[in-house]
Amino acid sequence: MSEPARETSNPPWEGRRNRSALGLLRRVFTWALGLALLGFIGYGLRPRPIEAEIGTVARGPLTVHVVEEGKTRIRNRYVVSAPVAGQMRRVPLKNGDIVKAGETIIARIEPAISPLLDPRAKAEAEARLQAMDAGKLKAAQALDLAHTSEKFALQNWERAKKLVQTKSISDTDRDNTERDYEMRARETRAAEFALKIAEFELAQARAALMQIETPGNSTTVEVRSPVSGSVLRVMQESATIVTPGVQILEVGDKSDIEIEAEILSRDAVAIKPGATVSIEQWGGEKPLNGRVRLLEPAAFTKISALGVEEQRVIVLSDLLNPPVEAQKLGDRYRVEVRVAVWHGDDVLLVPAGALFREGSEWKTFVFEGHAARKRTLQAGHSDGRMTEVLGGIDAGMKVLLHPPDTVKDGSAVKKRAQ
């Protein structure tokens, strides 16, 4: 006989146990999934570090400049005018033509028929001749004085160069001696120019007196150039009837260039004669070196592009050892002038982009431990890129450059990738 089949079904309590384990596993998985989702949401909502550029506070030299538009101008210029009344022929010269002193004929004038001898006109002509003669003597004496000053300045400059070799003179004294010699040399050149003009005016006065004394003389008067140089501008080109004093043209020496800049009076107060000047945007690759020669004592009112009245002062600068390319500069060419008004060889510097104002105080964010810490500091001179630090931060500290508005004291910050 076969044995009866065994009972294979599980007891009822075994099914309830399996269902309880499966439910527990589902609850654990659900809680784990919820916690992971909450952690992911929390991670996404947590504040992220703000990216910013980082700069370093360090020591170095600093030069503060006053920057302004300027223009070139010929130092010595002269307007040639008609010495007598009469019919002037057409002027053959054009702008830019080369003229030589006493040789180039600028204009020819056929004197008008002189009226009857007028004692008053003759007396005026004689007085003008005497004044021109005295002016010539004065110009000659001024030239002698300029030669003496230049000779004395040259001796000082030669002595200073010898002292430089033995290091017995400071760089400032050497520069001042060199500047003094250059200024005296330019004064001598200007005095020579003034003497030539005085001689020319004396010749004009003699021609005018001759016309009055000899009414029947109709000899054509030739007006010659008083100085050597170039024609800058022709005022009267066509043939016409002229009277004494009518402007014909303007001449000047193109190689004798100076720089003129109209600087705000509040900035001009800090400028001193002899200050270093950098002439930029003149058309060449490298800036030209210059030196301030004169600040005019009187300011003038100028309306800016925004309609604001400004008080400006004309500052004149001389070029120092200009290159050959600079000879292409002419009269009234536009340039950019940078005048040094302050210099420090070893000062604590911070990038100007790291500073901002809060009320009347300067603030900056210091980068410490991957966080931004607000600091108050005392700022000094600035050239627009770097600013002098008088106190509040130390050398070697890292600062935030152009921090965004979202940066606060204690904000997490990380360095922006370059």
Could you tell me the residue ranges of all domains in the chain? 51-62+345-415, 64-72+255-343, 77-110+220-252, 114-217
* Distance of alpha carbon 196 from alpha carbon 60, whole angstroms: 51
pLDDT band at 418 (very low <50, low <70, confident <90, very high): low
Could you list the beta-strand ranges (E) of 180-244: 221-224, 229-234, 240-242
Q: From the options 3.20.20.70, 2.40.30.10, 1.10.730.10, 2.40.420.20, give the CATH code of 51-62+345-415.
A: 2.40.420.20
Among 33-47, 191-205, 378-392, name the one with the lowest average pLDDT: 33-47
262: which strand partners?
A: 314
pLDDT at 17: 59
Q: Is the pTM of this model over 0.75?
A: no
Task: Tell me the DSSP string of 245-261.
Answer: T-EEEEEE-TTSEEEEE
CB 100 within 8 A of CB 190: no
The arrangement of secondary structure in 77-110+220-252, i.e. its CATH architecture, is Beta Barrel (2.40)
374: which strand partners?
A: 365
What does the buried/exposed string (b/e) look like for 111-124 if buried means 16 or more CB atoms within 10 Å of the residue's CB? Answer: beebeeeeeebeee
Question: Tens of pLDDT along 269-318?
Answer: 989 888 889 999 998 888 999 999 889 999 999 988 888 899 999 999 98
Q: Give the 3-state secondary structure percentages of the chain, helix then strand then coil, rounded to 5.
A: 35, 35, 30
Q: Which helix (H) or strand (E) holds 303?
A: strand 300-303
The arrangement of secondary structure in 64-72+255-343, i.e. its CATH architecture, is Beta Barrel (2.40)
Query: Token digits for 293?
Result: 């020669």
Alpha-carbon distances of 304 from 307, 356, 366, rounded to whole Å: 5, 28, 39
Chain-wide mean pLDDT for the chain? 82
pLDDT at residue 46 greater than cutoff 70: no
Count Cβ atoms below 10 Å from residue 93 Cβ, excluding itself. 20
231: which strand partners?
A: 251
pLDDT at 3: 52
Sign of the dihedral defined by the CA atoms of residues 109, 115, 116, 122, in that order: negative
Length in residues, the chain: 418
pLDDT at 116: 46
Name every residue whose Cβ is closer than 8 Å to that of residue 244 and which is 6 or more positions away in sequence: 81, 82, 83, 84, 85, 208
* Distance of alpha carbon 226 from alpha carbon 146, whole angstroms: 21
